Structure 1
Amino acid sequence: MENKVDDRSQASRYQKLNITDFMTIGIFFVIITLVGTVVAFVGITPVTFVMVSPLQGLVLGIPTMLFYSKVKKPGMLLITAILSGAFSLLMALGPYHLIVGVLLAVVAELVLWSGQYKSVRNSIIAYMLTSIAITANYIPLFFATRSYILNSDMAGKYSEGMARGMTEIGERGFVMYAVIVGATAVTSLLGGILGKKVFDKHFRRAGIV
């Protein structure tokens, strides 16, 4: 009986996040955010602006899957999602990324947990889910287009042409937003597969197959 209690106690301690876990979260959050920000610079025209999240889904698969190879406990994805959402708030992109990101991170946590943190397939699916969260930053553009263009002073910060182009794209509404979400889901699956191939040795060493 005492052995069973000790085993449960040890398992409980193992599941708790420690300083190493928080350091891992912090390091990869910085790396992923920096790479994602660099990729976002392609969005300098209305057309390329809506391509940012699908492109990020593909490119960020490499560093993010390395991060996932080190995720063995609940909570790591959720904390990362909160940090990413908070960064979007600081960048004046609104609360949508934070809200959607937290909800999808909870689902992604369950996906990893259901595979006992040893399933490559589940890791790729979890990455796809968390990648979709970035598309939430497009919500104001597609569902409150004119107020978004006005409040962001797009004409003043960029040009009248940019403002007109963004307005035309934004007024396509739900259909265009659904296309972006779908494209991001596809590219993030491809990015997850690519990241797994690049860091295959890390996954095997971590017992993820």
Structure 2
Amino acid sequence: MEEKNLKVKDLVNIGVFSAIYMILSFIVMVPSMASPIIWLLWPAICGVVCGSIYMLLVAKVPKKGTALLVALINGIIYFAIGECTWTIILSFAIAGIVAEIARGALGYQTTESALVSCGILAAGFIGSPLPMWLFQDSYVNSIIKMGMDPAYVANMLKMISAGSLFGFTAAAFVGGLIGGFIGKVLFKKHFEKAGII
């Protein structure tokens, strides 16, 4: 019977791939700050760019806990380096739990499980701009004091609404699906070797 529990080798793979996933997302973040709309679409862009890395990881480690650990590692690192508020940990924790539920329901050895969880994890990046919706006044004051252009902030505020939160989160999920599909194509041999159909 195939071992379903995470082993040391699995944890090493998760750590390495999570680091690559985070680095790629950070590289995407830097130019995304040039425009308010691009920054709010950063989670979706991350999904497209980072999806392949996640797909390769779940092909190598198609086990329970993989998605949750990737989510928690990224959320904690982003918070620790001061790029995001505590909301990034919350959003990634929720995304990781939901991704694990989806993987459990769809089966850890299925392509559908990998793709759906890839989209869900990408939605976890919404925790970065989330303060704009949750505690807008205090957050806006803090980022302006930190040196952000008030005109830039004003343009961003025009796009903040309950509907846009749903829209940007949905865009992130779709971006993750696209990135996951790209990864499926790029790493088809790894999926076949892992028995993921």
TM-score, structure 2 length as denominator?
A: 0.89
Structure index of larger Rg: 1
CA distance 1:21–1:34, shift in 2 (3 Å): same
Query: 2:116 maps to which residue?
Result: 125
Q: 1:185 and 2:173 equivalent?
A: yes
Query: 1:204 maps to which residue?
Result: 192
Q: 1:32 and 2:52 equivalent?
A: no
Query: 1:81 maps to which residue?
Result: 71
Query: 2:39 maps to which residue?
Result: 49
- Equivalent residues in 2 for 1:168-183 (5 A)? 168-169=158-159, 172-183=160-171
Query: 1:4 maps to which residue?
Result: none
Distance 1:179 1:74 in 2: 29
Query: 1:134 maps to which residue?
Result: 125
- Structure 2 residue identity aligned to 1:136: G
Which stretches in structure 2 are left out of the alignment for 5+ residues? none
CA distance 1:119–1:47, shift in 2 (3 Å): same
* Equivalent residue pairs, number: 195
- Structure 1 residue identity aligned to 2:102: V
Which stretches in structure 1 are left out of the alignment for 5+ residues? 1-9
> How far does the alpha carbon of each residue in 1:179-205 deviate from its partner, in whole angstroms, 9 at most, with x for none?
101111222111111110111111011
- Structure 1 residue identity aligned to 2:14: I
Kept in 2: contact 1:82–1:98 (CA 8 A) = yes
Cα deviation, residue 167, structure 1: 3.1
* Paired-residue identity, %: 22
Which of these residues, 85, 103, 117, is aligned with residue 112 of structure 1?
A: 103
CA RMSD of aligned residues (A): 1.9
Which is worse superposed, 16-25 or 197-206? Answer: 16-25
Cα deviation, residue 88, structure 1: 2.5
Higher relative contact order (CA 8 A, sep 6+): 2
Query: 1:6 maps to which residue?
Result: none
Which of these residues, 6, 28, 47, is aligned with residue 17 of structure 1?
A: 6
Counterpart secondary structure, 1:157: coil
TM-score, structure 1 length as denominator?
A: 0.84
Counterpart secondary structure, 1:66: helix
Cα deviation, residue 71, structure 1: 2.1
Distance 1:22 1:55 in 2: 27
Kept in 1: contact 2:51–2:183 (CA 8 A) = yes
- Structure 1 residue identity aligned to 2:128: N
Distance 1:81 1:160 in 2: 32
Kept in 2: contact 1:127–1:188 (CA 8 A) = yes
Cα deviation, residue 111, structure 1: 2.6
